Amino acid sequence: GDVCFLLCDVQERFRSVIHNFEAMQHGCSIMVRAAPLVGAPVIVTEQYPKVFGSTTAELLPHLEGVERHPKTLFSMVTPDVDDELQRRNRKQVVLFGIEAHVCVLQTALDLLDRGYSVWVVVDAVSSSRPTERSVALTRLDRAGVHLTTYESALFELMGDSKAENFKAVSSLIKETRPDP
């Protein structure tokens, strides 16, 4: 496996301020639960958890044993996360979480600068306002980030319907999505 998943700042305090929070969180949940099935480690950050709380209760059960890196930087690429990425020696990063126009954007640009291939899962990112999200996705696309959906990304990582965990990943993807 050459891929690593990055979950950016999906925390309790943001629930009421993020546009389509439940739909975004659903996409993140699919990605986090699929990660072990596609051989992808997950790196998690929390923006200033003393103020914004921890990762949401819906996601925590799927992150047992995964270190959550607290940060004040907007980018996820803190010294701790940078060390973990280098230690894992993965060249592709699949990024999802919030907010698209701040932490996700700055993380993606930092990773591009470091030579990573970066994918952003568009149905697992959001912002406080739809305009912020759409402008961020346009900028990411123009910067060379691969925009994808969780279904497309996971099937691309599987590569073959005969893959060992195909049925398990497929059943995750078929789960009912919250209305955006």
**Cβ within 8 Å of residue 152, ≥6 positions away:** none
Nearest to 33 by CA among 180, 156, 170: 170
Cα torsion angle, 148, 52, 26, 179, sign: negative
- What's the confidence (pLDDT) of residue 178? 73
> Are the C-beta atoms of 10 and 59 separated by less than 8 Å?
yes
Is 57 in contact with 28 (CB distance < 8 Å)?
Answer: no
Question: Residue 161: is its pLDDT beyond 70?
Answer: yes
Task: Enter the pTM of the model.
Answer: 0.96
Residue 175 has pLDDT above 90, yes or no: no
- Mean pLDDT (the chain) is 95
How far does the chain reach from its first CA to its final CA, in angstroms?
32
Percent of the chain with pLDDT over 90: 94
The Cα 55–Cα 159 span in angstroms is 31
Rounded to 5 degrees, φ, ψ at 172 are -60, -45
Going from the N-terminus, what domains does the chain have, and what CATH number goes with each? 74-89+97-175 (3.40.50.850)
Whether the pLDDT of residue 1 is over 80: the answer is no
- The proportion of the chain whose per-residue pLDDT surpasses 70, expressed as a percent, equals 98
Q: What is the pLDDT of residues 9-61, one digit of tens each?
A: 999 999 999 999 999 999 999 999 999 999 999 999 999 999 999 999 999 99
Phi first, then psi, for residue 158 (nearest 5°) are -70, -45
**112-122 pLDDT per residue, tens:** 999 999 999 99
Output the pLDDT for position 37.
Answer: 95
Averaged pLDDT for residues 133-138: 98
Q: What are the DSSP E strand ranges found in the chain? A: 3-8, 42-47, 68-71, 92-98, 117-126, 146-148
Catalytic residues: 9, 71, 103
